[in-house]
Amino acid sequence: MLRATDISLSFGGLKALSKVSVEAAPGAVTGLIGPNGSGKSTLLNVIAGVYVPDEGTVTLNGEPLPLGRPERVAQRGVGRTFQVPKLAHRLTVFQNMLAGEKDHCGETLAGIFLRPGKVARQEREAAERADSILRRLGMAHKANDLAGSLSGGQQKLLTMGMLLMADPAVLLLDEPAAGVNPVLIEQQVEFLKTLRDEGRIVILIEHNMDMIANVCDRVFVLDAGSLIAAGTPADIRADETVIRSYLGQPAVPREQP
Amino acid sequence: MIDFAIYLVTVAAIWSVLAISLNLQFGMTGLVNFGQILPFGIGAYAAGIGASLGYPWWVGAIAAIVFAPLCSLAVVFPTRRLSQDYWALITLAAAEIFRLTMLNTPSVAGGADGVMVPRFGSSTTALVVSLALLAVSFLVAERISRSPFGRMLRVLREDEVLASTLGRNPMRYQASVSMVAWIMGAAAGIAYGHFSGYVAPTSFTVTETFIIWTAVILGGPGRNIGVICGAIIIQVLGVSSRFVAQWVDLPSDLVANLRLALFGLLLVVMFIYRPQGLVPERREVRNAARD
Condensed to tens digits (0 to 9), the pLDDT of residues A25-47 reads 999 999 998 888 888 899 999 99
pLDDT at B291: 42
Provide the shortest C-alpha distance from residue A172 to chain B (in Å).
Answer: 11
Q: Of all helices (H) and strands (E), which one includes residue A19?
A: strand A14-24
**Cα–Cα distance measured from residue A65 to residue A63, given in angstroms and rounded to the nearest whole number:** 6
Quick check: B218 pLDDT over 90? yes
What CA–CA distances, in Å, run from A181 to A1, A57, A171, A185, A186? 32, 37, 22, 6, 9
Quick check: A206 pLDDT over 70? yes
Q: Which of B143, B159, B283 sits opposite A86 (nearest CB)?
A: B159
Q: How many CB atoms lie within 10 A of CB A225?
A: 22
pLDDT at B289: 46
Phi, psi (degrees; rounded to nearest 5) at A124? -65, -45
Amino acid at B176: S
Mean pLDDT for the stretch of residues A185-209: 89
Chain B positions in Cβ-Cβ contact with residue A94 (cut-off 8 Å): 284, 286
pLDDT at A151: 87
Three-state SS at A2? strand
Restricting to B residues 143-182, those with a Cβ less than 8 Å away from any Cβ of A are 143-144, 147-149, 151-152, 154-155, 157-159, 161-170, 173, 176, 180
pTM here is 0.89
Mean pLDDT for the stretch of residues A83-102: 91
Mean pLDDT of chain B: 89
Band (A251; pLDDT cuts 50, 70, 90): low
Buried residues in B21-39 as b, exposed as e (16+ CB within 10 A): bbbbbbbbbbbbbbbbbbb
Are A86 and B165 within 8 A, CB to CB? yes
> pLDDT, tens digit, for every residue of B72-115?
998 888 776 666 778 888 899 999 999 999 999 888 788 888 88
Quick check: A252 pLDDT over 80? no
pLDDT at A250: 61
Whether residue B286 lies within 8 A of chain A, CB to CB, comes out as yes
Buried residues in A104-115 as b, exposed as e (16+ CB within 10 A): bbbbbbebbeee
Beta-strand ranges (E) seen in chain B are 115-116, 198-199
On whether the CB atoms of residues B63 and B211 are closer than 8 A, the answer is no
> pLDDT, tens digit, for every residue of A77-90?
999 988 888 999 99
Chain B positions in Cβ-Cβ contact with residue A101 (cut-off 8 Å): 148
From A127, which residue of chain B is nearest by alpha-carbon distance?
Answer: B286
Quick check: B290 pLDDT over 60? no
Mean pLDDT for the stretch of residues A192-215: 89
Share of chain A above pLDDT 70, in %: 96
Residues with Cβ within 8 Å of A48's Cβ and at least 6 positions away in sequence, in order, are A70, A73, A74, A78, A80, A172, B165
Residues with Cβ within 8 Å of B23's Cβ and at least 6 positions away in sequence, in order, are B141, B216, B221, B222, B223, B224, B227
Considering only residues A231 and B136, tell me which one the structure prediction assigns the higher pLDDT. B136
Quick check: B256 pLDDT over 90? no
> pLDDT, tens digit, for every residue of A141-157?
999 999 999 988 889 88
> pLDDT, tens digit, for every residue of A42-91?
999 999 998 999 999 999 999 999 988 889 999 999 999 888 889 999 99
Phi, psi (degrees; rounded to nearest 5) at B84? -55, -30
Provide the shortest C-alpha distance from residue A123 to chain B (in Å).
Answer: 8
From A128, which residue of chain B is nearest by alpha-carbon distance?
Answer: B289
Band (B246; pLDDT cuts 50, 70, 90): confident
On whether the CB atoms of residues A34 and A82 are closer than 8 A, the answer is no
pLDDT at B113: 83
